Structure 1
Protein backbone atom coordinates (compact mmCIF):
# COMPACT_ATOMS: atom_id res chain seq x y z
CA UNK A 1 0.00 0.00 0.00
CA UNK A 2 2.76 2.46 0.90
CA UNK A 3 4.63 1.89 -2.38
CA UNK A 4 1.46 2.45 -4.41
CA UNK A 5 0.71 5.59 -2.43
CA UNK A 6 4.25 6.91 -2.94
CA UNK A 7 4.00 6.32 -6.71
CA UNK A 8 0.62 8.04 -6.85
CA UNK A 9 1.86 11.01 -4.86
CA UNK A 10 5.05 11.32 -6.92
CA UNK A 11 3.03 11.25 -10.15
CA UNK A 12 0.72 13.97 -8.86
CA UNK A 13 3.64 16.10 -7.70
CA UNK A 14 5.38 15.78 -11.07
CA UNK A 15 2.37 16.50 -13.29
CA UNK A 16 0.06 18.61 -11.13
CA UNK A 17 -0.58 22.31 -11.66
CA UNK A 18 0.01 24.84 -8.88
CA UNK A 19 -3.69 24.59 -7.95
CA UNK A 20 -3.43 20.79 -7.89
CA UNK A 21 -0.43 21.02 -5.58
CA UNK A 22 -2.27 23.43 -3.25
CA UNK A 23 -5.17 20.96 -3.08
CA UNK A 24 -2.82 18.04 -2.34
CA UNK A 25 -1.11 20.04 0.41
CA UNK A 26 -4.44 20.98 1.98
CA UNK A 27 -5.68 17.38 1.94
CA UNK A 28 -2.43 15.99 3.36
CA UNK A 29 -2.35 18.64 6.10
CA UNK A 30 -5.88 17.60 7.03
CA UNK A 31 -5.00 13.92 7.19
CA UNK A 32 -1.94 14.80 9.26
CA UNK A 33 -4.17 16.74 11.69
CA UNK A 34 -6.41 13.67 11.99
CA UNK A 35 -3.40 11.50 12.79
CA UNK A 36 -1.57 13.89 15.14
CA UNK A 37 -4.49 15.49 16.96
CA UNK A 38 -6.67 12.43 16.86
CA UNK A 39 -9.52 14.43 15.32
CA UNK A 40 -12.78 12.54 15.50
CA UNK A 41 -13.46 12.48 11.74
CA UNK A 42 -11.57 12.91 8.49
CA UNK A 43 -14.15 15.46 7.25
CA UNK A 44 -13.39 17.67 10.26
CA UNK A 45 -9.65 17.40 9.60
CA UNK A 46 -9.73 17.67 5.81
CA UNK A 47 -11.94 20.77 5.90
CA UNK A 48 -9.75 22.25 8.67
CA UNK A 49 -12.79 22.98 10.87
CA UNK A 50 -12.29 25.35 13.79
CA UNK A 51 -15.07 25.36 16.39
CA UNK A 52 -16.18 27.93 18.92
CA UNK A 53 -19.15 27.94 21.26
CA UNK A 54 -21.43 30.61 22.66
CA UNK A 55 -24.46 30.28 24.86
CA UNK A 56 -26.76 28.00 22.83
CA UNK A 57 -24.69 28.50 19.67
CA UNK A 58 -21.84 26.85 17.78
CA UNK A 59 -19.67 28.33 15.05
CA UNK A 60 -17.47 26.43 12.65
CA UNK A 61 -15.06 28.21 10.34
CA UNK A 62 -13.18 26.64 7.45
CA UNK A 63 -10.69 28.15 5.00
CA UNK A 64 -11.80 28.41 1.39
CA UNK A 65 -9.39 26.66 -0.97
CA UNK A 66 -9.56 24.83 -4.32
CA UNK A 67 -10.45 21.50 -2.65
CA UNK A 68 -13.94 22.80 -1.85
CA UNK A 69 -14.62 24.68 -5.10
CA UNK A 70 -17.15 23.67 -7.72
CA UNK A 71 -16.56 24.17 -11.45
CA UNK A 72 -17.37 27.90 -11.07
CA UNK A 73 -14.50 28.34 -8.55
CA UNK A 74 -16.89 29.05 -5.68
CA UNK A 75 -17.59 26.93 -2.61
CA UNK A 76 -19.55 23.81 -3.60
CA UNK A 77 -23.06 23.91 -2.15
CA UNK A 78 -22.59 20.46 -0.66
CA UNK A 79 -19.62 21.74 1.35
CA UNK A 80 -21.72 24.63 2.65
CA UNK A 81 -24.44 22.12 3.57
CA UNK A 82 -21.91 19.87 5.31
CA UNK A 83 -20.48 22.68 7.43
CA UNK A 84 -23.95 24.01 8.30
CA UNK A 85 -25.12 20.51 9.25
CA UNK A 86 -21.99 20.02 11.33
CA UNK A 87 -22.37 23.33 13.20
CA UNK A 88 -26.01 22.56 13.97
CA UNK A 89 -25.32 18.92 14.85
CA UNK A 90 -22.39 19.74 17.12
CA UNK A 91 -24.60 22.25 18.93
CA UNK A 92 -27.40 19.69 19.30
CA UNK A 93 -25.01 17.12 20.73
CA UNK A 94 -23.36 19.68 23.02
CA UNK A 95 -26.73 20.49 24.63
CA UNK A 96 -27.74 16.90 25.32
CA UNK A 97 -26.98 14.99 28.51
CA UNK A 98 -24.51 12.10 28.47
CA UNK A 99 -25.94 8.96 26.92
CA UNK A 100 -27.99 10.82 24.31
CA UNK A 101 -27.03 11.94 20.83
CA UNK A 102 -28.57 13.89 17.98
CA UNK A 103 -28.72 12.87 14.33
CA UNK A 104 -30.00 14.91 11.41
CA UNK A 105 -33.57 14.12 10.42
CA UNK A 106 -34.16 16.98 8.00
CA UNK A 107 -31.98 19.75 6.58
CA UNK A 108 -33.34 22.69 4.57
CA UNK A 109 -30.97 25.18 2.98
CA UNK A 110 -31.57 28.39 1.09
CA UNK A 111 -28.52 29.54 -0.85
CA UNK A 112 -28.32 33.33 -1.09
CA UNK A 113 -24.89 34.30 -2.47
CA UNK A 114 -21.73 32.61 -3.78
CA UNK A 115 -19.14 31.31 -1.33
CA UNK A 116 -16.01 33.27 -2.14
CA UNK A 117 -13.21 34.87 -0.15
CA UNK A 118 -10.85 33.54 2.47
CA UNK A 119 -13.16 31.57 4.76
CA UNK A 120 -16.63 30.17 5.35
CA UNK A 121 -18.20 30.61 8.81
CA UNK A 122 -21.33 28.68 9.80
CA UNK A 123 -23.28 29.33 12.97
CA UNK A 124 -25.98 27.17 14.51
CA UNK A 125 -28.50 28.43 17.10
CA UNK A 126 -31.13 26.49 18.97
CA UNK A 127 -34.77 27.20 18.07
CA UNK A 128 -36.50 24.37 19.95
CA UNK A 129 -35.36 21.57 22.23
CA UNK A 130 -37.92 18.89 22.95
CA UNK A 131 -37.61 15.43 24.43
CA UNK A 132 -37.48 13.65 21.03
CA UNK A 133 -36.38 16.32 18.53
CA UNK A 134 -34.49 19.58 18.29
CA UNK A 135 -34.84 22.35 15.71
CA UNK A 136 -31.77 24.45 14.99
CA UNK A 137 -31.20 27.35 12.60
CA UNK A 138 -27.99 27.89 10.73
CA UNK A 139 -26.40 30.70 8.81
CA UNK A 140 -23.32 30.64 6.59
CA UNK A 141 -21.15 33.70 5.99
CA UNK A 142 -18.16 34.40 3.80
CA UNK A 143 -15.13 36.33 5.06
CA UNK A 144 -16.49 39.73 3.97
CA UNK A 145 -19.49 39.17 6.28
CA UNK A 146 -22.06 38.54 3.55
CA UNK A 147 -24.57 35.81 4.36
CA UNK A 148 -24.43 33.07 1.73
CA UNK A 149 -26.96 30.57 3.09
CA UNK A 150 -29.71 30.09 5.65
CA UNK A 151 -30.70 26.68 6.97
CA UNK A 152 -32.92 24.90 9.43
CA UNK A 153 -32.36 21.42 10.71
CA UNK A 154 -34.44 18.96 12.67
CA UNK A 155 -32.51 16.46 14.76
CA UNK A 156 -33.73 13.23 16.32
CA UNK A 157 -32.61 12.67 19.89
CA UNK A 158 -31.45 9.08 20.30
CA UNK A 159 -29.78 6.92 22.93
CA UNK A 160 -26.10 6.29 22.17
Structure 2
Protein backbone atom coordinates (compact mmCIF):
# COMPACT_ATOMS: atom_id res chain seq x y z
CA UNK A 1 0.00 0.00 0.00
CA UNK A 2 2.77 2.49 0.89
CA UNK A 3 4.55 1.94 -2.43
CA UNK A 4 1.32 2.31 -4.42
CA UNK A 5 0.43 5.47 -2.49
CA UNK A 6 3.92 6.90 -2.93
CA UNK A 7 3.78 6.26 -6.70
CA UNK A 8 0.33 7.84 -6.97
CA UNK A 9 1.37 10.91 -5.01
CA UNK A 10 4.62 11.34 -6.95
CA UNK A 11 2.71 11.11 -10.24
CA UNK A 12 0.19 13.72 -9.12
CA UNK A 13 2.92 16.05 -7.86
CA UNK A 14 4.91 15.70 -11.10
CA UNK A 15 1.98 16.11 -13.50
CA UNK A 16 -0.62 18.15 -11.62
CA UNK A 17 -1.50 21.77 -12.31
CA UNK A 18 -1.11 24.43 -9.61
CA UNK A 19 -4.81 23.99 -8.83
CA UNK A 20 -4.36 20.20 -8.56
CA UNK A 21 -1.47 20.70 -6.16
CA UNK A 22 -3.54 23.11 -4.04
CA UNK A 23 -6.31 20.51 -3.79
CA UNK A 24 -3.82 17.75 -2.87
CA UNK A 25 -2.39 20.01 -0.17
CA UNK A 26 -5.87 20.74 1.24
CA UNK A 27 -6.78 17.04 1.24
CA UNK A 28 -3.58 16.07 3.04
CA UNK A 29 -4.03 18.90 5.56
CA UNK A 30 -7.57 17.66 6.11
CA UNK A 31 -6.42 14.14 6.90
CA UNK A 32 -3.77 15.63 9.19
CA UNK A 33 -6.54 17.65 10.91
CA UNK A 34 -8.47 14.43 11.49
CA UNK A 35 -5.42 12.77 12.99
CA UNK A 36 -3.82 15.56 15.02
CA UNK A 37 -6.80 17.73 15.95
CA UNK A 38 -8.83 14.66 16.89
CA UNK A 39 -11.60 15.46 14.41
CA UNK A 40 -14.37 12.87 14.48
CA UNK A 41 -14.74 12.45 10.71
CA UNK A 42 -12.67 12.81 7.57
CA UNK A 43 -15.29 15.17 6.09
CA UNK A 44 -14.81 17.50 9.06
CA UNK A 45 -11.05 17.53 8.55
CA UNK A 46 -10.99 17.64 4.75
CA UNK A 47 -13.50 20.51 4.56
CA UNK A 48 -11.61 22.32 7.35
CA UNK A 49 -14.81 22.83 9.35
CA UNK A 50 -14.64 25.44 12.07
CA UNK A 51 -17.60 25.09 14.46
CA UNK A 52 -18.94 27.76 16.78
CA UNK A 53 -21.68 27.19 19.33
CA UNK A 54 -24.14 29.37 21.15
CA UNK A 55 -26.80 28.11 23.53
CA UNK A 56 -29.37 27.18 20.87
CA UNK A 57 -27.39 27.33 17.63
CA UNK A 58 -24.43 25.87 15.80
CA UNK A 59 -22.44 27.61 13.10
CA UNK A 60 -19.86 25.92 10.87
CA UNK A 61 -17.59 27.81 8.49
CA UNK A 62 -15.44 26.29 5.75
CA UNK A 63 -13.05 27.91 3.28
CA UNK A 64 -14.16 28.02 -0.35
CA UNK A 65 -11.54 26.62 -2.71
CA UNK A 66 -11.35 24.76 -6.03
CA UNK A 67 -11.59 21.50 -4.08
CA UNK A 68 -15.31 22.11 -3.45
CA UNK A 69 -16.21 23.75 -6.79
CA UNK A 70 -18.50 22.29 -9.41
CA UNK A 71 -17.84 22.69 -13.15
CA UNK A 72 -19.13 26.29 -12.98
CA UNK A 73 -16.44 27.23 -10.41
CA UNK A 74 -18.99 27.75 -7.63
CA UNK A 75 -19.51 25.67 -4.49
CA UNK A 76 -20.98 22.28 -5.38
CA UNK A 77 -24.53 21.96 -4.05
CA UNK A 78 -23.64 18.67 -2.39
CA UNK A 79 -20.97 20.42 -0.33
CA UNK A 80 -23.48 23.07 0.74
CA UNK A 81 -25.89 20.26 1.68
CA UNK A 82 -23.16 18.45 3.62
CA UNK A 83 -22.21 21.49 5.69
CA UNK A 84 -25.87 22.38 6.33
CA UNK A 85 -26.64 18.79 7.39
CA UNK A 86 -23.53 18.73 9.58
CA UNK A 87 -24.35 22.00 11.35
CA UNK A 88 -27.92 20.84 12.00
CA UNK A 89 -26.82 17.35 13.07
CA UNK A 90 -24.11 18.64 15.39
CA UNK A 91 -26.66 20.94 17.05
CA UNK A 92 -29.17 18.09 17.42
CA UNK A 93 -26.53 15.84 18.99
CA UNK A 94 -25.37 18.56 21.42
CA UNK A 95 -28.92 18.95 22.74
CA UNK A 96 -29.57 15.27 23.43
CA UNK A 97 -29.03 13.56 26.77
CA UNK A 98 -26.08 11.24 27.35
CA UNK A 99 -26.48 7.93 25.56
CA UNK A 100 -28.53 9.29 22.65
CA UNK A 101 -27.63 10.34 19.14
CA UNK A 102 -29.42 12.10 16.31
CA UNK A 103 -29.45 10.96 12.69
CA UNK A 104 -30.88 12.74 9.67
CA UNK A 105 -34.31 11.48 8.66
CA UNK A 106 -35.17 14.14 6.08
CA UNK A 107 -33.26 17.06 4.56
CA UNK A 108 -34.84 19.75 2.37
CA UNK A 109 -32.70 22.42 0.74
CA UNK A 110 -33.62 25.46 -1.30
CA UNK A 111 -30.68 26.90 -3.21
CA UNK A 112 -30.95 30.67 -3.61
CA UNK A 113 -27.65 32.04 -4.91
CA UNK A 114 -24.26 30.73 -6.09
CA UNK A 115 -21.64 29.86 -3.49
CA UNK A 116 -18.74 32.18 -4.25
CA UNK A 117 -16.24 34.14 -2.19
CA UNK A 118 -13.81 33.09 0.51
CA UNK A 119 -15.99 31.14 2.96
CA UNK A 120 -19.23 29.23 3.33
CA UNK A 121 -20.95 29.68 6.71
CA UNK A 122 -23.88 27.52 7.81
CA UNK A 123 -25.98 28.33 10.86
CA UNK A 124 -28.51 25.95 12.44
CA UNK A 125 -31.31 26.56 14.97
CA UNK A 126 -33.90 24.26 16.51
CA UNK A 127 -37.49 24.74 15.34
CA UNK A 128 -39.01 21.89 17.37
CA UNK A 129 -37.72 19.29 19.81
CA UNK A 130 -40.06 16.39 20.54
CA UNK A 131 -39.47 13.09 22.29
CA UNK A 132 -38.47 11.12 19.18
CA UNK A 133 -37.64 13.72 16.53
CA UNK A 134 -36.17 17.18 16.22
CA UNK A 135 -36.77 19.72 13.42
CA UNK A 136 -33.93 22.12 12.72
CA UNK A 137 -33.52 24.95 10.22
CA UNK A 138 -30.27 25.90 8.58
CA UNK A 139 -29.07 28.76 6.45
CA UNK A 140 -25.93 28.98 4.34
CA UNK A 141 -24.14 32.26 3.64
CA UNK A 142 -21.19 33.24 1.51
CA UNK A 143 -18.48 35.62 2.74
CA UNK A 144 -20.24 38.76 1.44
CA UNK A 145 -23.20 37.90 3.70
CA UNK A 146 -25.58 36.83 0.93
CA UNK A 147 -27.74 33.82 1.80
CA UNK A 148 -27.13 31.01 -0.67
CA UNK A 149 -29.39 28.28 0.73
CA UNK A 150 -32.12 27.57 3.26
CA UNK A 151 -32.69 24.10 4.69
CA UNK A 152 -34.83 22.21 7.13
CA UNK A 153 -33.98 18.83 8.57
CA UNK A 154 -35.77 16.26 10.66
CA UNK A 155 -33.60 14.18 12.96
CA UNK A 156 -34.45 10.90 14.68
CA UNK A 157 -33.32 10.63 18.28
CA UNK A 158 -31.94 7.14 18.87
CA UNK A 159 -30.41 5.33 21.82
CA UNK A 160 -26.75 4.58 21.15
CA UNK A 161 -25.81 0.88 21.14
Q: With structure 2 as the length reference, what TM-score do the two structures score? A: 0.98
CA shift for structure 1 position 38: 2.0
- Residue 137 of structure 1 is matched in structure 2 by 137
- Residue 112 of structure 1 is matched in structure 2 by 112
State how far apart, in whole Å, the 2-side matches of 1:143 and 1:37 are. 25
CA shift for structure 1 position 3: 1.0
Secondary structure at 1:59's aligned position in 2?
A: strand
| Structure 2 spans left out of the alignment, 5+ residues | none
State how far apart, in whole Å, the 1-side matches of 2:38 and 2:140 are. 27
- Residue 25 of structure 1 is matched in structure 2 by 25
State how far apart, in whole Å, the 2-side matches of 1:109 and 1:15 are. 38
- Residue 149 of structure 1 is matched in structure 2 by 149
- Residue 9 of structure 2 is matched in structure 1 by 9
Q: Tell me, yes or no, if structure 1 residue 38 matches structure 2 residue 33.
A: no
CA shift for structure 1 position 36: 1.2
- Residue 61 of structure 2 is matched in structure 1 by 61
State how far apart, in whole Å, the 1-side matches of 2:17 and 2:131 are. 52
Please list every run of at least 4 consecutive aligned residues from structure 1 whose deviation after the TM superposition is greater than 6 angstroms. none
| Structure 1 spans left out of the alignment, 5+ residues | none
State how far apart, in whole Å, the 2-side matches of 1:59 and 1:119 are. 13
Q: With structure 1 as the length reference, what TM-score do the two structures score? A: 0.99
In angstroms, what is the RMSD of aligned CA positions? 0.5
Q: Count residues in correspondence.
A: 160
CA shift for structure 1 position 110: 0.1
CA shift for structure 1 position 39: 1.1
State how far apart, in whole Å, the 2-side matches of 1:88 and 1:33 are. 22
State how far apart, in whole Å, the 2-side matches of 1:27 and 1:48 are. 9
- Residue 97 of structure 1 is matched in structure 2 by 97
State how far apart, in whole Å, the 2-side matches of 1:103 and 1:11 are. 40
